[in-house]
Amino acid sequence: MSKVKGLAGDTIWYGLSSIIGRMISYLLVPLYTAVFLPGEYGIVTELYAYTAFLYPVFTYGIETAYFRFANKNPEEEPTLFNQIESLIILTSTFLAGLLFYFGVDLAIWLDYPGKEMVFYWLATVLAIDAITAVPFARLRFRKKAKKFAFIRFFNITFAVVLNLFFLVFCLKVYEGVWLTEMQDFMQMHYDFEFKAKYVFLSNLISNSLLIILLYKEFEGFKPRFNWSKVAPILLYASPLLFMGLAGVTNEMLSRALLKIWLPEGYYPNQSSMDALGIFGACYKLSVFMMLGIQAFRYAAEPFFFSNAENKDSPKLFANVMTGFVIFCTLVFVAISLNLEIIGMVFFANPTYREGLYVVPILLLAYLFNGIYYNLSVWYKVTDRTMYGAGITIFGALITIFFNFILIPILGYFGSSLVTLLSYFTMALISYLFGQKYYPVPYQIGKILVYLVLASILVGLFYQFNIDNWVANFLIKNLGVMIFILGSYLAERKHLAGRVVFGFKFP
**What pLDDT score does 502 carry?**
41
Average pLDDT over residues 57-85: 85
Spatial separation of the C-alpha atoms in residues 61 and 241, rounded to whole Å: 5
| pLDDT tens digits for range 150-193 | 888 888 889 989 999 999 999 999 999 999 899 999 999 999 98
pLDDT band for 8, please (50, 70, 90 cuts).
very low
| pLDDT tens digits for range 437-473 | 888 899 999 999 999 999 999 999 888 777 777 888 8
pLDDT band for 503, please (50, 70, 90 cuts).
very low
Q: Which residue has the higher pLDDT, 185 or 239?
A: 185
| pLDDT tens digits for range 12-68 | 555 555 555 555 556 677 788 788 888 788 888 888 888 888 988 898 888 878 877
Spatial separation of the C-alpha atoms in residues 408 and 486, rounded to whole Å: 40
CB neighbourhood size of 322 (10 A): 18
Average pLDDT over residues 66-72: 81
Burial zone of 217 (CB within 10 Å; 0-12 exposed, 13-18 middle, 19+ buried): buried
| Global pTM value | 0.70
Least confident among 245-249, 280-284, 484-488: 245-249
Spatial separation of the C-alpha atoms in residues 11 and 19, rounded to whole Å: 11
**What pLDDT score does 25 carry?**
56
**What pLDDT score does 413 carry?**
93
User: Where do the structural domains in the chain lie, given as residue ranges?
Assistant: 2-495
Q: Does position 327 have pLDDT exceeding 70, yes or no?
A: yes
Q: Which residue has the higher pLDDT, 502 or 259?
A: 259
CA distances to 13, 48, 127, 212, 339 from 55, rounded to whole Å, are: 25, 10, 9, 21, 31
**Stated length of the chain:** 506
Which residues lie below 8 Å from residue 47, measured CB to CB, with a gap of 6+?
118, 122, 200
pLDDT band for 306, please (50, 70, 90 cuts).
low
**What pLDDT score does 499 carry?**
42
Spatial separation of the C-alpha atoms in residues 35 and 199, rounded to whole Å: 12
Q: Does position 202 have pLDDT exceeding 60, yes or no?
A: yes
CA distances to 148, 407, 485 from 325, rounded to whole Å, are: 25, 30, 16
Q: How confident is the prediction for the chain on average, in pLDDT?
A: 83
Least confident among 204-213, 262-271, 494-503: 494-503
**What pLDDT score does 336 carry?**
92
Instruction: Let me know: does 57 contact 309? Beta carbons within 8 Å.
Output: no
**What pLDDT score does 300 carry?**
62
Average pLDDT over residues 87-103: 94
Residue type, 203: N
Average pLDDT over residues 315-320: 85
